[in-house]
Structure 1
């Protein structure tokens, strides 16, 4: 298990829930709820500030795959949001982690805590982020690597062509004659 703080983001269409874990990577806790700002991306800037302030080693973003595991419109939006975070926190890995049913689990936890539905809006995204982050931490502790890492924009380069080495193979080199 890697030591270090992780920040988790539960992306909604209206709000973004944030959670973080302790430096040992054991317990996830709620941080706050942000209002989505699709025009100025101030919410992305606030997530990036939280990541920097906490010295996070990783950002976990909820990836709402469909029940059959496919990537629907909500998952594509979350992946786009993860790309924005990745651009805002260069050098910090951003990981998309399957969050199917995390909001359902958050609702259950809030009901169990005696909260009423009207009180959910302000905190349900935070609780969903806690549920997701705790699941990712538990998976890592069990030796699994949850989700997939989003590639940083600055590392997305065109593949380099190999220079012709003079050795022949059974297939022609795709770069042959392009020196």
Structure 2
């Protein structure tokens, strides 16, 4: 089962999906937010079903001193909405500086400002999800493969 990473913004939602083993994250889409949140949820529902998602990792923007501000509270509310709507585990994951890291990666790759704007939220979702995946312990199963603990 795959994990879905989300970078929630006021105008867009960056979306990333893990591979089946839960080792790598790939950006798949930037959802343009609607005034009607139901349309946002319908799109996420489609992506969850299409990619057979079992868990959601939602970026949790904390202040640099660790406190939770307005954007963090919005993520908490969105996490509760996702849990009730999709009946999946939702993990809030500290996303401090992920957008900055994504911007730096795109600048280092010499991506134009116009193209950066289109992919930055998707790349931030990849960084959030990959960070979550990398934090999980690895076990060796009977087939000799290593995989994260479920």
TM-score using structure 2 length: 0.87
Which aligned pairs between 1:135-174 and structure 2 lie closer than 5 A? Answer: 135-141=131-137
Q: Cα RMSD between the aligned structures? A: 1.5
Higher normalized contact order (CA 8 Å, seq sep 6+, divided by chain length): 2
Structure 1 residue 124 displacement after superposition: 0.4
CA contact (8 A) 1:9 1:59 kept: yes
From 44, 48, 51, the counterpart of 1:47: 44
Aligned residues: 139
Instruction: State the distance in 2 between where 1:13 and 1:113 align.
Output: 26
Q: Does 1:65 align with 2:59?
A: no
Correspondence for 2:101 among 94, 99, 105: 105
Q: What TM-score does the superposition give when structure 1 sets the normalisation length?
A: 0.73
Secondary structure class of the residue paired with 1:121: helix
The structure whose residues are more often helix, as a share, is 2
Match for 2:16 among 5, 16, 19?
19
1:8–1:20 CA contact under 8 A, matched in 2: yes
What's the secondary structure of 1:123's corresponding residue?
Answer: helix
Alpha-carbon offset, residue 82 of structure 1: 1.5
The alpha carbon displacement at 1:142 in A equals 6.4
Flag as ranges the 4+ runs of structure 1 deviating above 4 A.
Answer: none
Counterpart CA distance in 2 for 1:142 and 1:57 is 18
Alpha-carbon deviations, 1:34-72, whole Å to 9, x = none? 111242421122112211221112000000011111110
Q: Is there any run of 5+ residues in structure 2 with no aligned partner, and where?
A: 140-150
Q: Please tell me whether Structure 1 or Structure 2 has the larger radius of gyration of its CA atoms.
A: 1
Tell which deviates more after alignment, 40-49 or 59-68.
40-49
Structure 1, unmatched stretches of 5+, are: 144-179
Q: 1:98 to 1:80 in 2, by over 3 A?
A: same
